[in-house]
Amino acid sequence: MPGELLRDRGLTLLRAHVKNQNLLKHSLAVEALMKALARKFSENEELWGLAGLVHDLDWEETQNDFERHSLVAAEILEKEGFPAEVVKAVKIHNYVHGLTPETPLEKALYATEEITGLIAAAVLVLPSRKIVDLKPESVLNRMKEKAFARGVNRDIINLTPSFLGISVAELTEIALGAMREIHEELGL
Ligand SMILES: [Fe+2]
């Protein structure tokens, strides 16, 4: 499956399973971030982007059972014939399973995807509600503010330096840049 076709299939599958607009936006944000990280590390942009795009595919059907989240998605992706490395990265990304991310793709998805949620939340409390006005320093301050966007797991994001060899500040710059590029789709 060549890159563009693979992405189309991922998006079609995602739209078939996810109806919540915020979750679709989250998926696009993580896709953009994963592609940017792949570029940074000279990895496969299509595969990394795809993993980001489909990682929460089963969120709506597992919302009352977090223990099944990501396992169901991995089953669906496997059945649909998506690349094995993407299936595995998606499966591992839910930390409740206690599976250890090993490949760079697995580590990147595991550690970084939640920062997109922190960034989106930080944009929405700006007077302009525009991502162009959000500064990386503000994101880092929000990271430290535990009560802000409580659902965002800081401990996982803080694995980034040991997993990927970049600081959280650098990750923030990359994520902010990637999300700014698709700000219209994200409505930010
Ligand atoms: Fe996610």
**What secondary structure does DSSP assign to 5-43, as a single string?**
HHHHHHHHHHHHH---HHHHHHHHHHHHHHHHHHHHTT-
| pLDDT tens profile 80-105 | 999 999 999 999 999 999 999 999 99
**Ligand 1 centroid distance, CA of 157 (Å):** 12
| Confidence at 4, pLDDT banded by 50, 70, 90 | low
| Confidence at 54, pLDDT banded by 50, 70, 90 | very high
- Phi and psi dihedrals of 83, rounded to 5? -55, 140
Average pLDDT over residues 23-52: 98
- Asked if residue 122 has pLDDT above 60, the reply is yes
Residues with CB under 5 A from ligand 1 (ion): 56, 113
Average pLDDT over residues 5-30: 96
Average pLDDT over residues 139-161: 96
- Asked if residue 3 has pLDDT above 70, the reply is no
- Asked if residue 56 has pLDDT above 80, the reply is yes
What pLDDT does residue 139 have? Answer: 97
Q: Which of 154, 143, 116 is nearest to 37 (CA)?
A: 116
**Ligand 1 centroid distance, CA of 33 (Å):** 12
CATH (domain of 25): 1.10.3210
**Ligand 1 centroid distance, CA of 126 (Å):** 23
Place of tokens 């802000």: 148
**Ligand 1 centroid distance, CA of 5 (Å):** 23
**Ligand 1 centroid distance, CA of 61 (Å):** 14
Question: What is the total count of domains within the chain?
Answer: 1
pTM: 0.96
Using alpha carbons, list the distances in angstroms from residue 98 to 12, 61, 75, 91, 151.
30, 21, 18, 11, 19
**Ligand 1 centroid distance, CA of 30 (Å):** 7
| Confidence at 1, pLDDT banded by 50, 70, 90 | low
What pLDDT does residue 9 have? Answer: 96
> What value does the mean pLDDT of the chain take?
96
Average pLDDT over residues 31-41: 98
**Ligand 1 centroid distance, CA of 132 (Å):** 22
Check: CB of residue 3 under 8 Å from CB of residue 46. yes
CA distance 19 to 59: 10
Q: Which of 3-7, 64-68, 178-182 has the lowest mean pLDDT?
A: 3-7
What pLDDT does residue 2 have? Answer: 60
Structural domain of 147: 3-186
Average pLDDT over residues 140-144: 96
**Ligand 1 centroid distance, CA of 7 (Å):** 17
**Ligand 1 centroid distance, CA of 57 (Å):** 9
Using alpha carbons, list the distances in angstroms from residue 24 to 9, 17, 20, 121, 183.
15, 10, 6, 15, 13
- Asked if residue 55 has pLDDT above 80, the reply is yes
